[in-house]
Amino acid sequence: MAKDAKAVEEGAAEAPKKSKKLLIIILAVVLLLVLGGGGAAFLLLKKNAHDGEDEEAAEETVKPKKKEKKKDGKEQPPIFINLDPFTVNLTPETGDQYLQVVLSLELDDVTAEPMLKAQMPKIRNNVTLMLSGKKASELLPREGKEKLAEELKDTMNSVIEPPTKNKKGELIMPDGPVKSVLFTSFIIQ
């Protein structure tokens, strides 16, 4: 029986040695798989980053104007100014027609707001004169509203920075502080 007990003890002693070897092999294989997967993920991310740079370079060639950034490298949020409503008589086509419009202005810089507010009486005058010269049929389609927004932007920017003439005598509109004119209400009666 002593021989049987020694055989059982030897078998028990060999089992842990085999399981330790098997555990080490399994851990090594898992470690290789994790490292290999991490390396593959790194290469894919690096490739995508280079593709993104190419797309950004392509976008920069299409859009030459870069977005302004603050000193800390973050993009500035847009600056909006709400104007009081404008109510004007339109040029008559079929009787009296009125336009009531409420505008919001998108500015390119925070420092432009005080300059714009200082010129507000002159801006309101020029906008009122321009709006009263329009016909309802011009303003009803979407294209008419988009054209009106561009004209309003040019009118407001020309108050702050007067237009200049080129060598041919054509007026060149300034790229003033007003980036866009947005309609928050547009009613024709």
% of the chain exceeding 90 in pLDDT: 39
Q: How confident is the model at residue 60 (pLDDT cuts 50, 70, 90)?
A: very low
Q: How confident is the model at residue 69 (pLDDT cuts 50, 70, 90)?
A: very low
3-state secondary structure of 186: strand
Cα angle: 114, vertex 159, 102; to 5 degrees: 70
DSSP letter at 117? H
Residue where the block lists tokens 């303003």:
139
* Residue-wise burial string across 52-62, b where 16 or more C-beta atoms lie within 10 A, e elsewhere: eeeeeeeeeee
Q: In whole angstroms, what separates CA 114 from the centre of its chain?
A: 25
Mean pLDDT of 135-153: 94
Mean pLDDT of 140-157: 94
Position 88 pLDDT exceeds 80: yes
3-state secondary structure of 1: coil
Tell me the pTM. Answer: 0.58
Position 133 pLDDT exceeds 90: yes
Q: Please tell me the predicted confidence (pLDDT) of residue 15.
A: 53
The answer to whether 155 and 134 are in contact (CB under 8 A) is no
Query: Cα(50)–Cα(42) distance, rounded to whole angstroms?
Result: 12
The answer to whether 106 and 179 are in contact (CB under 8 A) is yes
Token pair belonging to 45: 């991310």
Mean pLDDT of 140-148: 95
Closest Cα to residue 186, out of 81, 80, 90, 92? 90
**CATH number of the domain located at residue range(s) 79-188 in this protein:** 3.30.479.30
Query: Cα(135)–Cα(93) distance, rounded to whole angstroms?
Result: 7
Mean pLDDT of 50-54: 53
